[in-house]
Structure formats: structure tokens, C-alpha cells
């Protein structure tokens, strides 16, 4: 295959990556936490933790899963919560313990949740208490044995955390009643894990990291099997693509898209953890006033979004009050960005929306526009390093340039 797109690559971006460089997602995570331990890793609801602090919490949670629950290698662990600091702790903790993560939409209906838990074979779930009532409805018809319940206030210490939980439960009435026997609190899990030594697991590139469920637009959601090698390769492809513009350990990234979705999972969490960025977790992006208020407090350098989010923001007067002087990259994906929205975004922020294309099965990045484009292009960009794309007809053969066809992708 002649990779004609390489002629349009940014200068210095290599055509290939070495997929054997890393054995696991955890190896990448630990490399960042050791090198940039002092740097801020996650910020959420006014609280910030460093990479070193994150690594300690991840190790504690992994130890709990290994020593207290005694989950065997490859066991499926579901995570059902919005963007909170507990999310990366639970996710990286499960991966470190050699387990497979099943990312679960907290807004699932009981029918959708029951299907995913049974289809994945998950035996353990980490759920935010706000959504435990949905879990209660389906629990007897699943294989779930262990229920770990997190609260919004878990990461804020006893006094502030208790106040946050009281307000959410008693004043805002945001925690519906539920009754699930023998649950374990997230804080208890961390304490029990911290009291026991963790034994490292020899994870390989072929081990399954995620059963990542698709959107279900053509039927029920299906679990795509993504290995540690799949995710690590996509992280390296992205690192190669962005190296000319972004500096490891210095970026501030907005994570408003839900981490349970493949786009935010890989781009916001995986790629920018590897880049040791400060990741601002936005728990409720629909609360635009609070969301934009958080942005005003920081020098944002990277914004990851989708068309609906971009559109909602550019049509708010207070969005123009944000200081965008440090913004280097706005990445759009998940759906096509409308030209009018992209033009408004650039007029306000001074930065074009760089669109990318991917799919869950590709973990997910396939194509991306060069980061040095002067304006929104309306296209999905170029295949990223170590990726081949062809358009083929119904006979399975490549169609001529300029003719429509089905995308065939190999990475």
C-alpha cells in the first residue's frame, strides 16, 4: 500500500511507532508517576492530587482487589460513575491488579445495565451512590458478588467530605434510596488495601485491559475487546502526533466528556496521563455556569470536546470571558463538528477545532488532522502513524481515488 497521506504529515512526525515499547497501560502510568510525581494529576470540585498521590491511591485499590477480594487475573470489574477522582483510581487500580475494566454509563436504564453486566460477566462493580438504586433493581439477575460504593465526598477528607455528602443526600436529594446488602465503601477499600502489600502482576500486551461497550446504535451495545497492547499503541500514536505542540508535564487539559466513553477514556485519561498533564475532571458539564467558572481559574492549554459541547459553550456570553491565551489545541471527535460552530469557537478562542476520527474497536484513534492546520477543515484528517486506511467496494477491492467506498482500517 502506498501511504500517500504521509506527504501531508507535519514535519518531524514519524510514520511508524514501536508497538513493543510498552507491555501494559500500567507500565505507562507508572513511568509518568515516577517521572512527574510532584506534578498535579487530577483536579475535581476544587481538590487537586499529584501524580505521586494518585499512584499511592491506585496501589491501595489494587491491593484491596488482590488481597481482600482475591480477584483472579482477568476478572471483570465494572466502574459506574461520572468524572470524579475515584474514577482513575479505580480504573488504574483494577488494571494494576491484572483485571479487565468494564466502563459503565451511570445513566444506563436498568435494562441496559443488566445487559452489560451479564454480557461482560462482571463480578465486581464500583458504583457512585447516586446511581446505586439502578444497580439494586438488576443485581439479583447478574453475577455481581462485590459492590464497592463511592460517594462524591470520598476524596475531600472527613469534614469537607461529610459536608458534601450531607448536602447531596439531604438538601439536594441527589442520592435516591437503595438497599444493597454487604456493600463496601470506597474509603474502606482504600484503607484495607493500604494495610496489605501489593504483589505486582506480570501483565502483557496481549492481556485484555477493557471490555469497552459500543454505543448500541445498531442494536444492543457490544463489548469490544481492547488489550493493553491496543491502548498502549494508540497512546504512542497520539504522543507522536502531538509532540510538536504539547510539552509533557506542562499541559492543563479539560476532561468534560465522560470517561466511560472510549473517546475521553483514551484521549483525556490515557494520552494525557502519559503526557503528565493536569487533568481537570468536570463531573457535570451540563452545569455550564460552574463549568465555565472552573475554566476561568486555570490557564487551559488543551480542550477535548464534541459538537454539542462546543455549540453549548460558544453560545454563552460568559464563555468569552475565559482567558484562552494558553490554549494550544482543541480536539473534536465523537461526531462531526458543524462548520458554524467551529467558526464561532475559533473567533472566541483563537484556536481552530482539530477534528479526529475513530471507533471503539480501534481503541479509538484512526485519523486526525495535523495540529498545525490554520482553520477547521471539515475532514477527518490523516491516518495516524502505523495505521493503514483503504476505501473498498462491495467486492472487497480498493476503489479508485474520488470514489465512495467502505473504510477498511488496519493498525
The three three-digit cell numbers of residue 17, written as one number: 511507532
3-state secondary structure of 313: helix
Measure the CA–CA gap between 108 and 41, rounded to whole angstroms. 29
Residue pair 213/221 in contact (Cβ under 8 Å)? The answer is yes
Measure the CA–CA gap between 250 and 155, rounded to whole angstroms. 24
Measure the CA–CA gap between 146 and 123, rounded to whole angstroms. 7
Measure the CA–CA gap between 205 and 183, rounded to whole angstroms. 33
Instruction: Enter the pTM of the model.
Output: 0.96
Residue pair 379/389 in contact (Cβ under 8 Å)? The answer is no
CATH domain 4-20+229-410 topology? Rossmann fold (3.40.50)
Cell 443485581, residue located: 139
Strand ranges across the sheet with 100-103: 184-185, 146-150, 124-128, 76-80, 100-103, 208-213, 223-227
181 phi/psi in degrees, rounded to 5: -75, 145
| CA distances to 83, 100, 204, 237, 386 from 126, in Å | 13, 13, 25, 30, 35
Measure the CA–CA gap between 69 and 93, rounded to whole angstroms. 13
Residue spans per domain, the chain? 4-20+229-410, 51-213
Q: Give the pLDDT confidence score for residue 216 in this predicted structure.
A: 65
Task: Report the largest interatomic distance among the alpha carbons of the chain, rounded to a whole angstrom.
Answer: 66
List per-residue pLDDT tens for the chain, 411 residues long.
889 999 999 999 999 999 999 999 999 999 999 999 999 999 999 999 999 999 999 999 999 999 999 999 999 999 999 999 999 999 999 999 999 999 999 999 999 999 999 999 999 999 999 999 999 999 999 999 999 999 999 999 999 999 999 999 999 999 999 999 999 999 999 999 999 999 999 999 999 999 999 976 677 789 999 999 999 999 999 999 999 999 999 999 999 999 999 999 999 999 999 999 999 999 999 999 999 999 999 999 999 999 999 999 999 999 999 999 999 999 999 888 999 999 999 999 999 999 999 999 999 999 999 999 999 999 999 999 999 999 999 999 999 989 999 999 999
Long-range pairs for 355-358 at CB < 8 Å and ≥24 separation? Answer: 355/331, 355/379, 355/380, 355/381, 356/331, 356/332, 356/380, 356/381, 357/333, 357/381, 358/262, 358/263, 358/333
Q: Give the pLDDT confidence score for residue 352 in this predicted structure.
A: 97
Domain 51-213, CATH class in plain words:
alpha beta
3-state secondary structure of 55: helix
Amino acid at each position: 500500500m502506498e501511504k500517500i497521506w504521509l506527504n501531508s504529515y507535519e514535519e518531524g512526525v514519524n510514520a511508524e511507532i514501536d508497538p513493543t515499547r510498552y507491555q501494559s497501560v500500567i507500565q505507562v502510568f507508572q513511568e509518568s508517576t515516577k517521572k512527574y510525581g510532584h506534578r498535579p494529576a487530577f483536579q475535581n470540585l476544587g481538590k487537586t492530587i499529584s501524580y505521586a498521590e494518585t499512584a499511592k491511591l491506585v496501589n491501595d485499590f489494587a491491593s484491596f482487589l488482590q488481597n481482600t477480594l482475591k480477584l483472579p487475573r482477568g476478572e471483570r470489574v465494572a466502574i459506574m460513575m461520572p468524572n470524579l477522582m475515584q474514577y482513575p483510581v479505580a480504573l488504574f487500580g483494577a488494571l494494576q491488579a491484572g483485571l479487565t475494566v468494564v466502563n459503565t454509563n451511570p445513566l444506563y436504564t436498568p435494562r441496559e445495565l443488566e445487559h452489560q453486566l451479564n454480557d461482560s460477566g462482571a463480578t465486581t462493580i464500583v458504583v457512585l451512590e447516586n446511581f446505586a438504586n439502578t444497580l439494586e433493581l438488576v443485581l439479583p439477575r447478574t453475577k455481581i458478588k462485590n459492590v464497592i460504593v463511592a460517594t462524591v465526598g470520598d476524596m475531600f477528607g472527613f469534614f469537607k467530605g461529610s459536608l458534601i455528602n450531607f448536602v447531596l443526600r439531604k438538601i439536594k436529594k441527589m442520592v435516591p434510596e437503595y438497599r444493597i446488602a454487604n456493600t463496601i465503601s470506597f474509603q474502606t477499600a482504600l484503607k484495607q488495601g493500604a494495610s496489605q502489600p501489593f504483589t505486582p502482576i506480570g501483565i502483557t500486551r496481549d492481556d485484555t485491559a477493557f471490555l469497552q461497550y459500543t454505543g448500541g446504535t445498531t442494536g444492543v451495545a457490544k463489548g469490544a475487546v481492547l488489550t493493553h497492547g491496543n491502548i498502549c499503541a494508540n497512546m504512542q500514536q497520539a504522543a507522536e502526533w502531538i509532540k510538536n505542540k504539547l510539552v509533557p508535564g506542562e499541559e492543563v487539559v479539560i476532561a468534560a466528556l465522560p470517561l466511560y466513553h472510549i473517546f475521553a477514556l483514551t484521549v483525556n485519561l490515557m494520552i494525557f496521563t502519559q503526557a503528565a498533564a493536569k487533568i481537570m475532571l468536570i463531573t457535570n458539564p451540563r452545569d455550564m455556569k460552574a463549568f465555565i467558572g472552573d475554566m476561568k481559574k486555570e490557564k487551559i492549554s488543551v480542550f477535548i470536546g464534541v459538537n454539542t459541547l462546543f455549540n453549548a459553550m460558544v453560545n454563552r456570553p460568559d464563555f468569552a470571558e475565559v482567558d484562552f491565551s494558553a490554549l494550544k489545541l482543541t480536539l473534536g471527535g465523537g461526531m462531526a463538528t458543524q462548520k458554524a460552530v467551529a467558526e464561532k469557537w475559533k473567533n472566541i478562542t483563537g484556536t481552530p477545532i482539530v477534528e479526529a476520527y475513530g471507533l471503539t474497536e480501534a481503541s479509538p484513534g484512526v485519523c486526525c488532522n495535523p495540529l498545525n492546520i490554520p482553520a477547521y477543515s471539515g475532514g477527518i484528517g490523516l491516518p495516524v502513524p502505523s495505521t493503514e486506511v483503504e476505501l473498498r467496494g462491495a467486492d472487497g477491492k480498493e476503489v479508485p481515488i474520488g470514489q465512495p467506498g467502505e473504510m477498511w482500517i488496519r493498525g
